[in-house]
Structure 1
């Protein structure tokens, strides 16, 4: 099987070989290049990694006239910069003992490609390629790639004990590629899932984010909920929690999974759907056999905030997700007034994200009762477009007056100007006064004099 390798990568291989060393492209880039041919889907490699018999010092000597960065000398890796693109070059190696469930305490350089491939996580990643030798496949990775199987290299228990993050990586690949996980690998994943508690929260966040955006996320979350719950224990109460409501034919976890699956493949939307109902088990009440979850959006936001903080999310993304969770069950009327009212609280971008959240939420509800809700949502989206096109006022800058206009009529105190402008905006949105300079200034005078009687 012949793979198309970028010219710059071929030049790196040829330069190392001319200096007397072996060199191959390896790992994910080979996997994705093969997937391109097998499935004809655009799994175009983003990064081309190179493995070589040359030590880091030898690599730096070979490329002495180029920019080489010692990015990971401890693990035998340097980065060669060509045309502003970094290429990682790593020496064949054998890993020492893993004592922290994440990385080896030491590495030993080797001259054997097979020894290097043997230490890798999954057979589909233990593939190397050389433009003359062709594909180097010591562990039947091509067969697994063609059959859609994720299998650990060698003993699954050993591989997952070495690096517990591989458990989430397996789930990520299963979600993104639509692959199944081979039984002994699956058994080992469940057996060693508690080792995920030793992994840094940032790495867990990265893997979960990729997992959530996969095409096969529904099957993965259904089958591996117990593993996901090690990373986010707060989801445990959702699993099997019946809702006892005509709008919901699934338990809370089942609804959550379906909502994620029905959402657009955007990481913020997918995380919002994962956490949007996490407060439901804590707010459940029942009246005449019908379940209610009063205040669950606010409770979900409180729980989600702790989770997002623990996973080290940046403040901006966290704020967006929490805002969407807080507003996900807000009742929206299909009227310009209602749309403008919400636009005054959220900007247009957040409003659009909220509509995506509400759509995914509806699509995960009882199929026999969602048509009217979807119709209403479509009407709201159309009204929002009309509001924006017609430039109806929904924020302070849309008002026909500003702070300077109020100063000209004798209102000079800053806080009072802000308060009056906010009140004027509310009156305009509620269609109680027109958005004209004359009407707004007249109302501003009235508000000012009423406050100073």
Structure 2
């Protein structure tokens, strides 16, 4: 900013960095607005990299520097069709989404606030700059941003914003799924993610984000929980303290199939048989629709499938059973599974365990898991003392399903008796139990069907 001002240009900090400073929190990214044209910005800063030539935006040492502009119409519901250069910061601020983001600050610390964003910030209120309906038509993702910013400042939306968002929520269908994913991710990483998600559902936006999960709103869980399925999901997300996006995403959708599997028994208690199995399939569809990565989807699916495997509340469980649970997790660390289960319990308003009791159970489970890990037991087929090449060489076999069955037999036995994980012991086991050579249901000799019937 100093270089721009020294060169005779106006320059201001704008947007989130000013908002955060006024809130008394460390600013994140720093954005600068200036009346300097792009060619002068690049001349003043040789290291500048143009990142939006049509919009007059350059990146200078990690700081986004943009020329004052006004935006034209948004035909694609994301980018303006064209921009017009303007001469004042007030004109530039008029194009921004919310008043709390339309505040500027010069080098002396003087605040420029033509839309009273500072007043809205003090009142913890999210208000659109100008016509709320027009702002949403320009970029419908602002509906989700409004939920996020309201939670960020610990506030609410003003009535005009709420009315415009509810009336224009269908416009979210025009937004690329990747952008919706990005906004959901940012909500999940907030300190008060519960507030953001409840605002989202309160504005009827959830069907446009996670339609299968939206069916959980208002679905009761009599006999198990005091809260409905959606509120429980939200509280589970809030209870996940680890700053892990995949884990918080898994917490959000862990009971996604409950509305599809709910059955009320004669005793008045709701049952959700196999909801973890159906949930795995629903989650895959939902997350693929939002363009999540394959790794994230695999992690969340595994979390949904195993979230009922209560290791920490079964002290009588044998080490072999715990090893089997651990070996079943290919994408989800076992500690994250425990974190999810603890959050699931903490979010249950009818949960009989105190927090101290839950922590005691968790510590107990972690001690047992650490003991198993310290012994370096085989928890994957790849950890066996033999591999497919050993099986093929020892039994003169070509590659094929029989090799996989042999390794599966060895792995199951090693889970029960870890000391068997030596090359000689496992090959001896395969010699002693040759049934693995044959697929289930196939004849184990060379007799024909006619021979069999004749005998």
Both proteins in one fold, TM over 0.5: yes
**Equivalent residue, structure 1, for 2:215:** 237
Which of 377, 382, 386 aligns to 2:367? It is: 382
Counterpart Cα distance in 1 of 2:231 and 2:63:
43
Q: CA deviation at 1:306?
A: 1.4
* Counterpart for residue 431 of structure 2: 445
Q: Is contact 1:400-1:436 (8 Å) kept?
A: yes
Q: 1:263 aligns with which of 240, 246, 249?
A: 240
Which range moves more in the overlay, 166-175 or 361-370?
Answer: 361-370
Over aligned residue pairs, what C-alpha RMSD do you find?
A: 2.6
Structure 1 position 59, deviation (Å): 2.4
Q: 1:411 to 1:346 in 2, by over 3 A?
A: farther
Quote how far apart the aligned CAs of 1:411 are. Answer: 5.2
1:406, 1:412 within 8 Å by CA — same for their partners in 2? yes
Determine whether 1:351 maps to 2:334.
yes
When residues 119 and 258 of structure 1 are mapped into structure 2, their CA distance, relative to the original with a 3 A threshold, is same
Equivalent positions of 1:284-323 (< 5 A) are 284-288=262-266, 289-323=268-302
Q: How far did residue 328 of structure 1 move?
A: 1.6
1:252 to 2:229 alignment? yes
Match of 2:146 in 1: 170
CA distance in 2, matches of 1:375, 1:98: 56
What CA distance in whole angstroms lies between the structure 1 residues aligned with 2:256 and 2:189? 19
Return the alpha-carbon distance in structure 1 between the equivalents of residues 332 and 289 of structure 2.
26
SS at match of 1:369: coil
1:177 touches 1:214 (CA, 8 Å); kept in 2?
A: no
Task: Show the counterpart of 2:304.
Answer: 325
Instruction: Return the offset for 1:198.
Output: 1.5
State whether structure 2 residue 101 is matched by structure 1 residue 125. Answer: yes
- Cα deviations by residue, 1:89-118 (Å, 9 ceiling, x for unpaired): 211111222334333222110111101011
CA-to-aligned-CA distance 1:75-100 (integer Å, 9 cap, x gap): 221223xxxx3332211111222334
Give, in whole Å, the separation in 1 of the partners of 2:339 and 2:362.
10
Pairing 1:429–2:406 present:
no
Contact 2:9 2:35 in 1 (8 A): yes
> Deviation at 1:344?
1.6
Q: Does residue 34 of structure 2 align to residue 56 of structure 1?
A: no
**1:11-90 correspondence to structure 2 within 5 Å:** 13-35=1-23, 38=24, 41=25, 43-45=26-28, 47-63=29-45, 66-80=46-60, 85-90=61-66
In structure 2, C-alpha distance between the alignment counterparts of 1:60 and 1:403, rounded to whole Å:
60
Contact persistence 1:241–1:253 (CA under 8 A):
yes
Matching of residues 75-114 of structure 1 within 5 Å:
75-80=55-60, 85-114=61-90
Deviation readout 1:36-63 (Å, 9 max, x if unpaired): xx3xx4x332x22111112223323444
Deviation (angstroms), 1:388: 0.2
Q: Secondary structure at the match of 2:333?
A: helix
- 1:330-384 Cα distance to aligned partner (Å, 9 max, x none): 3545431121002222148522222222222222224343457765554332211
Unpaired runs of 5+ residues, structure 1, are 1-12
The question of whether the paired residues in 2 share the 8 Å contact of 1:95 and 1:104 is answered with yes
Contact 1:427/1:433, CA 8 A, preserved across alignment: no
Question: SS of the counterpart of 1:224?
Answer: helix
1:411–1:389 CA distance, 2 compared to 1 (3 A): farther
Give the match's secondary structure for 1:241: coil
- Change in Cα spacing, 1:171 to 1:407, as seen in structure 2 (3 Å) is same
**Range with greater deviation from structure 2 (400-409 or 231-240):** 400-409
Q: State how far apart, in whole Å, the 2-side matches of 1:133 and 1:426 are.
A: 68
203-212 or 293-302: bigger deviation: 293-302
Cα pair 1:177 1:215 within 8 Å, conserved = no
Secondary structure in structure 2 of the residue aligned to 1:94: strand
Distance 1:365 1:433 in 2: 41
Q: Counterpart of 1:224?
A: 200
Q: Which residue of structure 2 lines up, in the alignment, with residue 7 of structure 1?
A: none
| Preserved contact between residue 241 and residue 281 of structure 1 (Cα < 8 Å) | yes
Aligned length: 428
Identify which range, 356-365 or 116-125, moves more after superposition: 356-365
Could you tell which deviates more after superposition, 115-124 or 430-439? 430-439
